[in-house]
């Protein structure tokens, strides 16, 4: 769908409904396209622990508290 700036301002709620359905909206100024609106692609909400999938998975030992000697070294 293509709309001019004035129409986009007047019909913003309607345009957002179209975007939610997957349609793309082109906004024009003086009949020249200046912007393209499309649905926002939500990113994955959770991030897996660890950055390298080739490494072995984390064991329960990873989540245990550090030894007191190690903790003392940090302070």
CATH number at residue 24: 3.40.1620.10
Going by pLDDT thresholds of 50, 70 and 90, the confidence category of residue 48 is low
Tokens of 36: 């393209």
- Total domains in the chain come to 1
CB 33 within 8 A of CB 27: yes
CB 25 within 8 A of CB 3: yes
Going by pLDDT thresholds of 50, 70 and 90, the confidence category of residue 50 is low
Q: Give residue 9's pLDDT.
A: 95
Q: Give residue 49's pLDDT.
A: 67
Residue 13 lies in a domain: yes
Residue 26 lies in a domain: yes
Residue 75 lies in a domain: no
Domain of 16, in residue numbers: 2-37
Q: Dump pLDDT digits (tens) for 5-47.
A: 999 999 999 999 999 999 999 999 999 999 999 999 888 777 6
């Amino acid at each position: 769908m293509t709309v001019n700036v004035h129409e986009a301002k007047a019909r913003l709620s309607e345009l957002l409904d179209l975007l939610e359905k997957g349609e793309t909206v082109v906004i024009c100024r003086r009949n020249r396209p200046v912007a393209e609106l499309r649905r926002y692609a939500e990113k994955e909400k959770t991030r897996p622990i660890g950055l390298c999938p080739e490494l072995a998975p984390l064991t329960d030992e990873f989540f245990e508290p550090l030894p007191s000697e190690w903790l003392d070294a940090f302070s």
